[in-house]
Structure 1
Amino acid sequence: MTDKPNTPQNAEQEPKNKKPDSAEGKPASVSNPAADASANPSSAKSSGGKQAAADREKKRSVKRAEKTSEKASEKQADKTARDAATGAADEAHDEAEQDGGEDRSWYFWPMIGAIVMFAAPVLVLLLALLLTIFNKPNNLADWVSIFRDLFIILLAVEGMLIGVALIVLILQLAALVNLLQNEITPIVDNLNQASSTVRGTAEFMSQNVVEPVVKIGAVMAATGGIVRELLGVRRAIKGASRSNKKALKE
């Protein structure tokens, strides 16, 4: 017999004709984990140790994540607190600068005016002295006129200084009046209101609480005295009647 050539059709038919071992009546072996574990206790212990190590590592990772989140939240809270403190300090500094500018505004320009008024005559005086020195006067009349002019200038400067002092005094008086109107007067009004409130409270308490309590106490004391007297009279009458009965019996 001649062998059939190995064609693709024959190659496809051969696997179909073949049957697996399980089909011939030999059942496939099924693995039993309990049997394997009992057969190999060392492998079971190693797998349990690996599982415990994995659980411990997982717990450590969770704890590390919690610590990291807590540190991040603490850093964020510290940063927020620092930012808030910095903002409050900046606001306080700005408010202080604004208050200082407002307080300075009412006396700044008068002070500048006073300085200018004082400096102008001094400059004129120095200029006159320089001109006198460089011109070199030769007679007494020129010297007398120079000293006269200097004296007149000094008197003018003194008058201007007195005027500046009066202006400052007026400004101080205006500030004092403003203080009295805006701060002292409300304080006095509040004190008057508080005293009137205390007076009214005392009158109300005396009329509605103290006086009724005193009257009730007086009435109760009088009633108690009357009751005691009546009881005493009754006891005296009973004692007298008993003594009379005893005397009659004897």
Structure 2
Amino acid sequence: MNEAQYPVPSITREPDVNKEPVIPIKFIVIGVIVTLVLSVLFIALLVYLAANYAGTIIIVRDIFIIALGLMSCLSGIVLILLLISIIRLINMLEFELKPILLKTNDTLGTIRGTTVFMSENVVRPVTTASSYMAGLRRGISTLFGDPRRNLGK
């Protein structure tokens, strides 16, 4: 079987020399400064509230602890559902897609065999006969001249 090798195009691209950053540096610096200022203000607010409203802070803390517990339970349920989905996906891949891919591979093997058979038993004899006829035609025209030109004289 003939294995023809075709040139493979290069996938790599030339790097851009003058590529500007996606976000300018000055916006990044401004964002960092604003974040730091807001963090300091938030900490100052927490210290003020803890000093003046200790009872309220304890109640809010307890509510947040309960909310975090509920979120942990919800996250566990979501992870279990995700695990079930992954198990179903693996099951589908193994028992539904794998047979389809095997049948496709068998079909490709059959097509490969058919093309080799056609190439060896149909195309090659036809091209050989065509080349012999072209050679015979050329030989006759060399020996006797072109019959189309000879008819007019």
TM-score (norm 2): 0.47
Of structures 1 and 2, the one with the larger relative CO (CA 8 A, separation 6+) is: 2
Structure showing greater radius of gyration is 1
Q: Would you tell me which structure has more helix in proportion to its own residues?
A: 1
TM-score (norm 1): 0.31
